[in-house]
Structure 1
Amino acid sequence: MKSKKMLAAVMAATVLTASLFAGCGSKTPQAGTDNQAASGEMDKEQYLNLTLKAEPKTMDLSKATDLYSSQILIEITEGLTRLEKDKDGKEIIAPAGAKEWKTSEDGLKWTFTLRDYEWYDGKKVTANDYVYSILRTLDPNTAAQYAYFLFPIKGAEEYNSGKGKKEDVGVKAIDDNTLEFTLKQPVPYFLQLTSFKTFLPQRQDIVEKYGDKYGTEAETLPVNGPFKIASWTHQSDVVLEKNEKYWDKDNVKLDKVNFKIIKDETARMNELENGSIDAVGVRKPEYVDQFNKAGKYTNLTGYDGSVVYQTYNTIPKIDGQVNPFNSPKVRLAFSLALNREDIVKTIYKGLGSPALGWVPFEILIGDQEYRKAAGVEPLKAAYDKYKDPKALLVEGLKELGLPEDPSKITIKMINSGTDAETKEIAEYYQQAYQNALGVKIEPEYMEWNQFMKRLDSGEYQLAGLAWGADYNDPMTFMDMWLSNAGQMNNGWKNAKYDELINKTRTAKDDAERTELFKQAEQLLLVDEAVASPVNYRKYNIFEANYVKNLMLVNFGQLYEVKYAYTQGRGK
């Protein structure tokens, strides 16, 4: 959630996402409504049983960072636009709370006209609800990790950093139905941003009524989307029901969506097999074979626009002791100690490709895939240059004044999850590091929320994560490492990196942006080695044949369930 968002628990092997990339559409007819029940009749009882791999961290729109929270928030809250597919299967940004929009010739002003729609209690959704939400997220006192997502807006970064005024932020309500944004400079992907949770509206009266409890229980959440929360049983499930006050309710066919929180891989597989859930991501070959042979599932696979990676806490000392990861050489040694081809084969069962760059496949820059435009990935050259990662490790340890004998170095690795799958993956990395570098690795296991707290507070040395795209541009992977982004509490700030990324915002064309991103990737992965990407991940979804129109979404959530329905359940 990065959904995004830190996308998954530590080094998780499967997340239920699929390739739905958003183009810059505008004023497009509402999607997904023509092929429902194209032949035959829909089931009388309309419901879906789906899964989350972890408890949502928070449903506070300004503070949610994980994918599981995002999944629910997108379904209960209607923002300006929605990420959907049109009648021809083309991925688009479709009108939602906004019925239309326009932009100035210089690309600096965006004006959205809201449709007449309501909150759950009949109160009108207004442009001021959007203004309040954006300013609350930017308020330094909110400490929102996703505040940087709004920095394309004029004055947003200054207000968030305490150097500017709220009144100078470039978002305002012209009237109840007209919302205007003023940007610092033209942003080619700005429309894509408007479908993400950071741009969703919030009710000031509800936020103030519940205070610190806002977003922690179902009853504290105002809704205006396709669904409302019927119940939220922590660590068990989140149950959604159709919102009869939703402006587009006639196109919502499901009466209920049950999101079961199932952390154990085997349990998820068993529930798909016995019909207790209707779709799930599958990793292990034995399950893939089993479900393919069953003849009652549709198998969907492809790159999911995410990268799995290892990250290091770079602060000088941890618990009063010199931190080995304060050295770029040590960090690079750990990165090069990994056999990425074997990781994809062994851990991910072939679901992905070895990651030698930071931005994954299928992310576009302009009309071209970034990885093709960028050419050779930076870590490929690093493998060729540094043949002995252990020698590089020793150099780094020596420079820090630490013992040059790697066997005297102990690294603690935190892991999200306590299930067998998590332990299997963690033990692989443990052995890989110990065998290649001679260090000692001590895995520590914890639940997702505790894992996120440790990351947020910087209480870790080594951790594994996945980061998924929030929109279809390399920036969604690159700006998370900016000094002022607030996403990664790892002690790393780099003025040169900041300069490169900020230059991409004013680059004259896609070729110049590509070159700047290439330089930034080199700095991030080799020169500073702050992150160690391992897998450009693929999804592998099995859904029951009776499930129709369940959109598998690549940006900001797992699914789009608005148009889903079932036909033939139980036959």
Structure 2
Amino acid sequence: MSTKLGNKKGLIFTGVVISLILAGCGKASSNASSESSSAVSHKNQATSQVLNWTASTELPTVDSVKEYDVVSQEQIDYLGEGLYKIDSNNNAVPAVASGNPVAQNKAKTKYVINIKKGLKWSNGSKLTAQDFVYAWQRLFNPKTAAQNASVYYNIKNAEQINLGKKKVSSLGVKALSDTKLEITLERRDPYLKATLSSENLFPENEAFVKKAGSKYGTSSKYVLSNGPFVMKDWDGSGTTWHYVKNTKYHEKNQITLKRINIQVTKNTATGVNQFQAGKVDNALLSGYYVKQFKNDKRLKKVLQLRSDNLELGIHSNKKLQNLNFRKALSLSINRNQLVNDVLTDGSRAATSIVPKGLVKSPDGKTDLSDATGNLVKYNPTEAKKLWAKAQKELGTKKISLDLYVDDSSDGKNVGEYVQGKVQNTLKGVTLNIKQVPAKSRFQKLMSYKFDTALGGWSGNFDPYTFLQQFQTGFEHNHGKFSNKQYDNLLDKINGSDLDNLNTRWQDLIKSQKVLIDQQATIPLYQPASTYLISSKLKGVVTHNLGTPLDVTRAYLVK
């Protein structure tokens, strides 16, 4: 996600390229003046507007406050909407908000945001500024145990509330009226509008949430919509559900699809077969199938601003506390071979932590990834030397580690590749693949008790959010890596460096070098999503950061 930035601190990030149009898009208006009950009409529009769509795995939650994974994020985008949203031109534009945030002080740490009038929830109740206050207070309330809460600690008092040191009512957000929201920040945020488009900051209806209690977000019965669609027939664990058009949505006239049927399809072959049989309108491809359909006009590729890593349970496994062993593991993996021969979907071999294409230098000439250089090279000879040193230091010739991967085609393929390269290079090391549902893998990582696992991170609009995951005490620092030099650099990047672009740039580079020198994680690749999409579906928008495919304003043609 990206946004046009109105101050000099934002110039460092003007290289962000986030979304592109796959087909002619029925672009949504940013005002709420039209209340026509009829949808916008498109040329050659099909009579039936029922989309059959796939999801890659089971859905963990539709509670926007508790959302912490890509699958939940994708599904919540159907039924929810925040103050702002990322449009097809890469800009953060008003959604529930009626205009841009208005700064209330010179430091730009206090803002007032006006909210559109006449907004309603899908049950007909009024949507007001208080719905944001309630949702955000719930996000940081330690009782909620929201796993992404720490990502938004820049909101005044958020961290202290989340740690149980201050009252929830002290959070820096107030409803000045039904249509005026005041936000106070800890420090200036050059990405404020884009930050406020995040699913975790969507509004929630207090009366509905309290009535649902602990069941809120666990099934379609216990979730309320303020977005384009209303969820139906999801029981909390099933592999099928659907959405119907939300007649209370403020831009309902921009929504053409009447219904979206969702089916979980984990296996690539199954998805392709269903697509070719006309049972579904999309299929996620991997491996052999990318090559098979490389010349098909229905093939669409999206390089994501995401990093996929081999996460290391440094805290929970004493063998992984040996630096030479961790470095040996990294040097034994050929990332170019992984992306070219295994994934074959346009993914890019990782060279550092922050993905390529996210940010450019203050002069706008150099990508951060290029400036940082390749920090994660393949060198089996050096890997064997370091493994020999590690064996002496650890007093053992053999080490067995569990490797947790998703029960998807990519999870299996990447896991087996890493397993093969490590075991063939480092004789005596065994990786035992544990293929589990995505939800179970998330739970394992969040338990902080694992050996190794395939993990990924879709950061925010600032490269700091990719680096933060390895900061001491950060909730998603799954290996509990801790390094004082690294922590100090991150404190500068998110503090004093905001007033000095060149210094911040150098610290972004330094921090990545420290991280890889200490091998806190093992970067693998920057993923690309490759899809077959029906030629009858128009108006699909892709995003490199966040939800890959946005079909909320798409439509079917004859």
TM-score (ref. length: structure 2)? 0.87
Q: Distance in 1 between matches of 2:42 and 2:470?
A: 49
8 Å Cα contact 1:218/1:231 also seen in 2: yes
Residue 391 (structure 1) aligned to one of 370, 385, 391: 385
Partner of 1:492: 481
Change (3 A) 1:516 1:491: same
Partner of 1:464: 454
Q: After TM superposition, give the deviation of residue 292 of structure 1 in Å.
A: 3.3
8 Å Cα contact 2:360/2:368 also seen in 1: no
2:124 partner amino acid: G
Partner of 1:518: 509
Q: Distance in 1 between matches of 2:265 and 2:369?
A: 40
Residue 40 (structure 1) aligned to one of 39, 43, 53: 43
TM-score (ref. length: structure 1)? 0.86
- How many percent identity over aligned positions? 24
Partner of 2:359: 364
**Residues 1:402 and 2:403 aligned together:** no
Partner of 1:11: none
Q: Where in structure 2 are the equivalents of 1:182-197 lying within 5 Å?
A: 182-197=184-199
The DSSP-based 3-state class of the residue aligned with 1:68 is: helix
Partner of 1:150: 152
Partner of 1:14: none
Deviation digits for residues 200-234 of structure 1, max 9, x if unmatched? 01122222222221111111001111100022153
**Residues 1:531 and 2:514 aligned together:** no
1:330 partner amino acid: F
Q: After TM superposition, give the deviation of residue 426 of structure 1 in Å.
A: 2.1
The DSSP-based 3-state class of the residue aligned with 1:263 is: coil
8 Å Cα contact 1:361/1:370 also seen in 2: no
Deviation digits for residues 287-346 of structure 1, max 9, x if unmatched? 5434735xxx4332242212221010011x55xxxx211222221211111111111112
Report runs of 4+ in structure 1 exceeding 6 Å deviation.
36-39
The DSSP-based 3-state class of the residue aligned with 1:411 is: strand
Q: After TM superposition, give the deviation of residue 421 of structure 1 in Å.
A: 5.1
Change (3 A) 1:428 1:128: same
Partner of 2:202: 200
2:137 partner amino acid: L
Q: After TM superposition, give the deviation of residue 72 of structure 1 in Å.
A: 1.4
1:204 partner amino acid: E
Q: After TM superposition, give the deviation of residue 258 of structure 1 in Å.
A: 1.5
**Residues 1:113 and 2:114 aligned together:** yes
Q: After TM superposition, give the deviation of residue 412 of structure 1 in Å.
A: 1.2
Change (3 A) 1:143 1:493: farther
Q: Distance in 2 between matches of 1:102 and 1:312?
A: 41
Partner of 2:100: 101
Q: Distance in 2 between matches of 1:515 and 1:163?
A: 34
8 Å Cα contact 1:76/1:226 also seen in 2: yes
Q: Distance in 1 between matches of 2:446 and 2:365?
A: 32
The DSSP-based 3-state class of the residue aligned with 2:522 is: strand
8 Å Cα contact 2:82/2:201 also seen in 1: yes
**Residues 1:479 and 2:468 aligned together:** yes
Q: Distance in 1 between matches of 2:268 and 2:389?
A: 41
The DSSP-based 3-state class of the residue aligned with 1:101 is: coil
Q: After TM superposition, give the deviation of residue 544 of structure 1 in Å.
A: 1.4
8 Å Cα contact 2:290/2:345 also seen in 1: no
Change (3 A) 1:242 1:366: farther
Residue 375 (structure 1) aligned to one of 363, 371, 374: 371
The DSSP-based 3-state class of the residue aligned with 1:465 is: strand
The DSSP-based 3-state class of the residue aligned with 1:450 is: helix
Q: After TM superposition, give the deviation of residue 533 of structure 1 in Å.
A: 1.0
The DSSP-based 3-state class of the residue aligned with 1:497 is: helix
8 Å Cα contact 2:335/2:378 also seen in 1: no
8 Å Cα contact 2:355/2:369 also seen in 1: no
Q: Where in structure 2 are the equivalents of 1:9-24 lying within 5 Å?
A: 19-20=18-19
Q: Distance in 1 between matches of 2:123 and 2:446?
A: 35
Q: Distance in 1 between matches of 2:40 and 2:300?
A: 20
Change (3 A) 1:175 1:561: same
Q: Where in structure 2 are the equivalents of 1:14-413 lying within 5 Å?
A: 19-20=18-19, 30=30, 40-85=43-88, 90-104=89-103, 105-116=106-117, 117-233=119-235, 234-290=237-293, 292-293=295-296, 297-315=297-315, 317-318=316-317, 323-349=318-344, 351-365=346-360, 368=364, 371-372=367-368, 375-377=371-373, 379=375, 388-399=382-393, 401-403=394-396, 405=397, 408-413=398-403
Q: After TM superposition, give the deviation of residue 447 of structure 1 in Å.
A: 1.5
Deviation digits for residues 455-484 of structure 1, max 9, x if unmatched? 111232011122224x33212312222223
Partner of 1:564: 554
Partner of 2:6: none
Gaps of 5+ in 1: 3-17, 23-27
8 Å Cα contact 2:97/2:116 also seen in 1: yes
8 Å Cα contact 1:283/1:351 also seen in 2: no
The number of residues matched between the two structures is 523
8 Å Cα contact 2:360/2:367 also seen in 1: no
Change (3 A) 1:140 1:258: same
Deviation digits for residues 25-48 of structure 1, max 9, x if unmatched? xxx9539x9xx9897331111122
2:414 partner amino acid: I
8 Å Cα contact 1:138/1:147 also seen in 2: yes
Q: After TM superposition, give the deviation of residue 165 of structure 1 in Å.
A: 3.3
1:257 partner amino acid: I
Q: After TM superposition, give the deviation of residue 445 of structure 1 in Å.
A: 1.6
Q: Distance in 2 between matches of 1:298 and 1:510?
A: 42
Q: After TM superposition, give the deviation of residue 137 of structure 1 in Å.
A: 0.9
Q: Distance in 1 between matches of 2:290 and 2:404?
A: 28
Q: CA-atom RMSD, angstroms?
A: 2.6
Q: Distance in 1 between matches of 2:64 and 2:365?
A: 31
Which is further off, 185-194 or 227-236? 227-236
Gaps of 5+ in 2: 2-16, 22-27
8 Å Cα contact 1:21/1:472 also seen in 2: no
Partner of 1:10: none
Q: Distance in 1 between matches of 2:173 and 2:366?
A: 31
